[in-house]
Structure 1
């Protein structure tokens, strides 16, 4: 490693950081993380904290999962890369396709298409949905519906179905034909409705209205996260996703579940869709599929979609889409080891238990600190605090104050993620009950300091 003085001097000088203003990174350089073990990270000054961010929603098994590291090393020694484009494949990806079909069988998934990450998976699902309708003789079905506050990556397709202006406005015009309905977000919504059940019905009615306005025979797919992640950790009422499924079925619209965050145990079940008893037509996965140790993703495809492609006799089902690293053998080896360890540890059970404890602890902070406007979570290890300067008026907090909370929490021993007016927590799924208490205590100190 380079000398620490050199690293501090050059920090953020020659690179731009994702989701950040370059000038802000110059003024307030980011933490330099140099080591990690289990659920903790250590910065260049030797300060060790609990990583309540879990890397970026993805290090479900922690930072020292030896089976994955061993699998990567062994695969690098044997076959570091080969293409899966027409004509060639590799043994690791064949095995992984079987493992994933078994893992997601309760979700109705039967096939996989491999990508380099979550944004690629969303892009792939959007493309395949249009091709699906063309194969069925419905070439006019080209539009996409999604939720405001939803997040689906930053490629042009994903940004177009994103429901947050921060990821859209600087890059417009985006993909035409993308429309958004209100999210089932009880704290802030255009209906001024705080009851989750009633709000779900209002949002479903808005979906019906938008379909009628656009005309159902022009719509290819509806894409949604089973629990909205980067938009603020917004779990919908239990009636919402089943209602979306029913509406999509009635109008011949595909349902794409963006499981990039919610897949592989984070919500307390193996998929977010399974929480609501819904089988989507396609599922976008990435992140925890390799525990973050290798850039990798997969689109899982349901029987109805797969049968149309595989039953085509015109030649038009040729998939004119793919990535150099689709089905990368090292990524496949990492995913195989990760999934085996994920199932062996039954991490979804720990995510459910620790998530309930964390959510309860965060609600105690709400009673102590007026800066907290809303506490969201309750579905595994994904929680958020929305901060306000006036709780009665729900006035968003200023950046300086929330920055102080974030820094004081870090100094107290916990890294949380700051985005807009929200503090996010998505720690590794191997988190202990003691570490849950430490997270809540550090946040308590952070709010007190601010």
Structure 2
């Protein structure tokens, strides 16, 4: 690798960063991360901080999981790549598909289609949903319904079902036939409803109304995150996902659970669907499938959908879709090792326990700092929504958010800023003393910005 001076000099020059303005990055280059160990990362200046971002929701097992590293190395020696297209399989892809369908059997998943990440997984689910209805002779079912504030990746299909203008406007017009309903977002919603359970019913009624308006026989699927991640860790009331599932059942609409973030324990359960007692028709997974050690994802398919495809004897059942790296043997080997460690360490239980501690810490900060308008936490997914005026709920400005993040970094914790939200998604191996560290760093950052 080039020396330190070269990296600093060229930071943000030959590279454009995701979710950032190139000019802003050139004017204010981002931190350069050089090493990771456990739940900590070290920057180019040698400063080590607790990573309360968990990479990007995905480094559940931390940065030094030796079983994953060994599995990758061994598979590189045996077979670094082979195509998973028609005509060939690899051993790791067969084994991981089996293990995933066993792991997610309580959600009713019976098949896996491998992808290179979360956006690919969502794109695959949307395409399979439309194809499912063509196989069934209902080709008019092409529309999708999603939640405002939801996030489903960056492909044109995923961007189209996204419910946040920040991920849509610069790329419009997007895919036609996509409609959005209000999210069960208690802090900000069009009903001015502060009771989460009543809000869940109102949002479910909006879903019913949109189905009636569009015509159920034109809708392919409803897609939602069990907990809305990038939209600000919006935690629906426990009844909402079940209400939406029941509505989809009544109208014969497919239900897609986007579990890219919530899969593998982050919300304190092995999936958000399991947390809410729902069996979707399809699930999208990625991120913690390899804990970030290799780009991999999957679309998981429920039994009814699988049966329709596999019983078909026409050209409509042929899957004309896939990726060069679908079922990559090295990625699948990493996924197998990650799944073993994920189970062994019972990270779902740790996420639930540490999440309760984190929620208590955040509540204390809210009482202390008027900058905090709302806190939301489930497992090790959390957000602090900052405001300049609590009564008016006026969002904090960009400069304030930057001050909090910079001061927290100086205090030893990496945060993620998304609009007026501070997003927390630390590794699921987090310890109690590290929860306290996050709280202390946030306190320092909020003090600096006040």
2:85 paired residue number: 85
Q: How does 1:37-52 map to 2 (within 5 A)?
A: 37-52=37-52
Q: Distance in 2 between matches of 1:110 and 1:155?
A: 25
1:225 paired residue number: 225
2:53 paired residue number: 53
Cα shift readout 1:395-442 (whole Å, capped 9, x = no counterpart): 011101111111000110000101111100000000000000000001
Q: Distance in 1 between matches of 2:36 and 2:394?
A: 37
Structure 2 counterpart SS, 1:264: coil
State the 1:4 CA deviation. Answer: 1.3
Does 1:317 pair with 2:322? no
State the 1:77 CA deviation. Answer: 0.6
State the 1:101 CA deviation. Answer: 0.8
1:435 paired residue number: 434
Does 1:267 pair with 2:255? no
1:408 paired residue number: 407
Aligned length: 449
State the 1:26 CA deviation. Answer: 1.4
Q: Distance in 1 between matches of 2:79 and 2:371?
A: 53
Over the aligned positions, Cα root-mean-square deviation in angstroms equals 0.6
Q: Distance in 2 between matches of 1:447 and 1:394?
A: 17
Structure 1 counterpart SS, 2:24: helix
Q: How does 1:12-411 map to 2 (within 5 A)?
A: 12-377=12-377, 379-411=378-410
Structure 2 counterpart SS, 1:316: helix
Q: Distance in 1 between matches of 2:28 and 2:361?
A: 30
Q: Distance in 1 between matches of 2:410 and 2:320?
A: 50
Q: Distance in 2 between matches of 1:322 and 1:26?
A: 36
Cα shift readout 1:174-194 (whole Å, capped 9, x = no counterpart): 000000000000000100111
Q: Distance in 2 between matches of 1:54 and 1:2?
A: 26
Structure 2 counterpart SS, 1:356: helix
State the 1:24 CA deviation. Answer: 1.1
Which 4+ residue blocks in structure 1 deviate beyond 6 angstroms? Answer: none
Q: Give the gaps of 5 or more residues in structure 1.
A: none
TM superposition score normalised by structure 2 = 0.99
Structure 2 counterpart SS, 1:265: coil
Structure 2 counterpart SS, 1:365: helix
Q: Distance in 1 between matches of 2:287 and 2:177?
A: 28
TM superposition score normalised by structure 1 = 0.99
- Higher deviation after alignment, 398-407 or 119-128: 398-407
Q: Distance in 2 between matches of 1:138 and 1:88?
A: 32
Q: Distance in 2 between matches of 1:149 and 1:314?
A: 39
Q: Distance in 1 between matches of 2:147 and 2:128?
A: 20
Q: Distance in 2 between matches of 1:401 and 1:314?
A: 59
State the 1:270 CA deviation. Answer: 0.5
Q: Distance in 1 between matches of 2:159 and 2:336?
A: 30
Q: Distance in 2 between matches of 1:93 and 1:130?
A: 26
Structure 1 counterpart SS, 2:317: coil
Structure 2 counterpart SS, 1:31: coil
Q: Distance in 2 between matches of 1:336 and 1:77?
A: 17
Structure 2 counterpart SS, 1:263: coil
Structure 1 counterpart SS, 2:359: helix
Structure 1 counterpart SS, 2:60: coil
Q: Distance in 2 between matches of 1:194 and 1:31?
A: 39
Does 1:421 pair with 2:420? yes
Q: Distance in 2 between matches of 1:23 and 1:366?
A: 35
Cα shift readout 1:156-185 (whole Å, capped 9, x = no counterpart): 000000000000000000000000000000
Structure 2 counterpart SS, 1:13: coil
Q: Distance in 2 between matches of 1:370 and 1:8?
A: 37
State the 1:315 CA deviation. Answer: 3.2
Q: Give the gaps of 5 or more residues in structure 2.
A: none
Cα shift readout 1:278-319 (whole Å, capped 9, x = no counterpart): 000000000000010000001110001000000112232000
Q: Distance in 2 between matches of 1:414 and 1:423?
A: 12
